[in-house]
């Protein structure tokens, strides 16, 4: 059977199954599978279906109804970290850090949009012509970004960022040579002592993964509030954990709930630590107010090309949320954030901690930094992997929180 004949047969069976479904009731996975079997038997009476194709057709139709169609095989593959759908005909994956185009397609724009609506309907999100861009998450926690056509000119796009079922720990990052053991022990003491830590880096540099691993050092007796656009953090060991997630405005009249709303709400929830998944705009004002009003040990992430660049971006984000003199903004940043960890993705696709800096103070229009650790590249090995070392460059100046917590370095 050639590919066109198979696609036609699969489409016919899918259509027949959908016609037989009663959308007024819920079906179990087993009932859906049995219905597909019945339809295959029915169709095979009028059209010969080779026994070798029946299992494949059943799986493909089941995935189209119950799962994520042709994307499900990539969701199930633990080695794949990103799935990118650029219109109906172009599906790319990232596997072991390498991007590659697959030979799978969705066939039609209609089928692609059906898949999109299926995704967003399961996570209390809405996407349509008036709201063509949405961030969501799948049932397994994977992060999804969707942009509909015609905003995405060449067809609707889906970008899925998968996360490991077992969260990556600091021990794992040490084994992957993303950070040195010395730097981990240092950061652990800072987390326990309640230093406010901000993580910066480019897209795909591992900010969320690192934030998740770093949060594992928070003492178990503390109450943690996490705030995210789409819930990704996996603080499995935290017994007193509240997870908050934003919500888009929808057609049913539900009001939008933003990061800013959630930060303000979290302050009334008796938090020991507030963790904001990522700041992108005016919510930086509320985060800094939180950091400067006694909520020590809080953490967040943001997009930046370097530690200094991240500080400049934070200034711009604060000004997006409130009209303040730049000096006041810089003073708020210098007093609110204690440590900035900058991550990067090198040319061999490996992710590394490139800098750990201490924010000292604001003096004469400038935020002074103290570099504590810095990555130095030494070359490449025989496999083309970048080699290097995270060197200790300086000593921590502000040790007040360490002393208050009874922790020594």
| 71 and 58 fall within a common domain | no
| 385 and 291 fall within a common domain | yes
Question: In sequence order, which ranges of 87-180 are alpha helices (DSSP H)?
Answer: 109-121, 170-175
How far is residue 138's CA from residue 116's CA, in Å, rounded to a whole number?
11
**Residue 24 predicted with pLDDT over 70:** no
Range of the structural domain that residue 246 is part of:
170-405
Of 153 and 97, the structure prediction assigns the larger pLDDT to 153
pLDDT tens by residue, 316-337: 999 988 888 999 999 999 999 9
How far is residue 311's CA from residue 333's CA, in Å, rounded to a whole number?
8
Which of 66, 88, 113 is where one domain is finished? Answer: 66
How far is residue 90's CA from residue 73's CA, in Å, rounded to a whole number?
16
How far is residue 281's CA from residue 38's CA, in Å, rounded to a whole number?
53
pTM, entire model: 0.78
**Residue 299 predicted with pLDDT over 60:** yes
| 257 and 156 fall within a common domain | no
**Residue 264 predicted with pLDDT over 80:** yes
**Residue 14 predicted with pLDDT over 90:** no
pLDDT tens by residue, 195-218: 999 999 998 899 999 999 999 999
**pLDDT value, residue 135:** 84
Q: The domain spanning residue 87 has which CATH number?
A: 3.30.450.370
| 62 and 78 fall within a common domain | no
| 201 and 282 fall within a common domain | yes
**pLDDT value, residue 124:** 66
Using a 10 angstrom Cβ sphere, with 0-12 exposed, 13-18 middle and 19 or more buried, the burial of residue 205 is buried
How far is residue 348's CA from residue 19's CA, in Å, rounded to a whole number?
50
| 21 and 100 fall within a common domain | no
Question: In sequence order, which ranges of 258-306 are alpha helices (DSSP H)?
Answer: 259-266, 283-291
Distances in Å between the Cα of 48 and the Cα atoms of 9, 42, 53 are: 11, 11, 11
Percent of the chain with pLDDT over 70: 97
| 157 and 268 fall within a common domain | no
pLDDT tens by residue, 231-262: 788 887 889 999 998 887 665 666 888 999 99
**DSSP H or E run through 226:** strand 224-228
Which of 113, 134, 162 is where one domain is finished? Answer: 162
**Residue listed under structure tokens 């079906």:** 27
pLDDT tens by residue, 331-364: 999 999 999 999 999 988 899 999 999 999 999 8
**pLDDT value, residue 355:** 97
Taking residues 137-157, report their average pLDDT.
Answer: 88
| 98 and 222 fall within a common domain | no
- The closest alpha carbon to 236, from 166, 172, 136, 161, belongs to 166
pLDDT tens by residue, 56-71: 888 877 777 767 878 8
Q: How many domains does the chain have?
A: 3
Q: What is the mean pLDDT of the chain?
A: 88
| 268 and 130 fall within a common domain | no
How far is residue 187's CA from residue 196's CA, in Å, rounded to a whole number?
11
Question: In sequence order, which ranges of 77-154 are alpha helices (DSSP H)?
Answer: 109-121
Q: The domain spanning residue 371 has which CATH number?
A: 3.40.50.300
Question: In sequence order, which ranges of 77-123 are alpha helices (DSSP H)?
Answer: 109-121
User: SS3 for 136?
Assistant: strand
User: SS3 for 230?
Assistant: coil
**pLDDT value, residue 329:** 93
| 250 and 262 fall within a common domain | yes
Measured in degrees and rounded to the nearest 5, phi and psi for residue 181 equal: -65, -35
**Residue listed under structure tokens 């010969």:** 48
| 210 and 80 fall within a common domain | no
Measured in degrees and rounded to the nearest 5, phi and psi for residue 370 equal: -125, 110
Which of 162, 193, 215 is where one domain is finished? Answer: 162
pLDDT tens by residue, 59-114: 877 777 767 878 888 988 988 999 999 999 999 999 987 899 999 888 888 888 88
**pLDDT value, residue 12:** 82
């Amino acid at each position: 059977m050639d590919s066109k004949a198979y696609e036609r047969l699969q489409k016919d069976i899918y259509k027949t199954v959908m016609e037989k479904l009663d959308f007024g009731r819920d079906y179990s996975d087993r009932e859906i599978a049995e219905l597909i079997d019945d339809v295959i038997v029915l169709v095979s009476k009028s059209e010969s279906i080779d026994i070798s194709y029946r299992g494949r057709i059943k799986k493909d139709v089941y995935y189209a109804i119950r799962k994520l169609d042709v994307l499900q095989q990539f969701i199930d593959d633990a080695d794949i970290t990103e799935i990118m759908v650029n219109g109906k005909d172009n599906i790319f994956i990232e596997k072991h850090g390498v991007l590659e185009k697959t030979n799978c397609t969705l066939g039609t724009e209609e089928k692609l949009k059906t898949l999109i609506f299926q995704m967003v309907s399961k996570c209390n999100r809405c996407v349509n012509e008036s709201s063509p861009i949405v961030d969501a998450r799948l049932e397994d926690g994977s992060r999804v970004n969707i942009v509909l056509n015609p905003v995405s000119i060449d067809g609707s796009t889906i970008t899925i960022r998968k996360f490991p079922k077992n969260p990556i720990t600091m021990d794992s990052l040490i084994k992957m040579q993303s950070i040195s053991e010395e730097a981990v022990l240092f950061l652990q003491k800072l987390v326990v002592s309640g230093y406010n830590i901000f993580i910066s880096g480019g897209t795909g540099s591992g900010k969320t993964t690192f934030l998740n691993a770093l949060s594992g050092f928070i003492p178990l007796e503390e109450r943690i509030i996490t705030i995210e656009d789409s819930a990704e953090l996996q603080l499995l060991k935290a017994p007193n954990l509240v997870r908050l997630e934003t919500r888009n405005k929808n057609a049913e009249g539900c009001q939008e709930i933003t990061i800013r709303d959630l930060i303000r709400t979290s302050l009334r929830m008796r938090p020991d630590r507030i963790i904001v998944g990522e700041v992108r705009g005016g919510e930086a004002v509320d985060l800094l107010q939180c950091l400067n009003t006694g909520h020590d040990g809080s953490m967040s992430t943001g997009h930046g090309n370097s530690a200094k660049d991240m500080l400049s971006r934070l200034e711009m984000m604060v000004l997006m949320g409130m009209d303040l003199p730049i000096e006041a903004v810089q003073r708020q940043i210098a007093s609110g954030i204690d440590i900035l960890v900058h991550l990067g993705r090198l040319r061999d696709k490996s992710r590394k901690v490139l800098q750990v800096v201490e924010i000292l103070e604001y003096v004469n229009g400038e935020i002074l930094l103290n570099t504590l650790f810095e990555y130095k590249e030494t070359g490449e090995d025989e496999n083309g992997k970048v080699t290097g070392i995270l060197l200790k460059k300086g000593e921590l100046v502000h040790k007040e929180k360490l002393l208050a917590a009874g922790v020594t370095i």
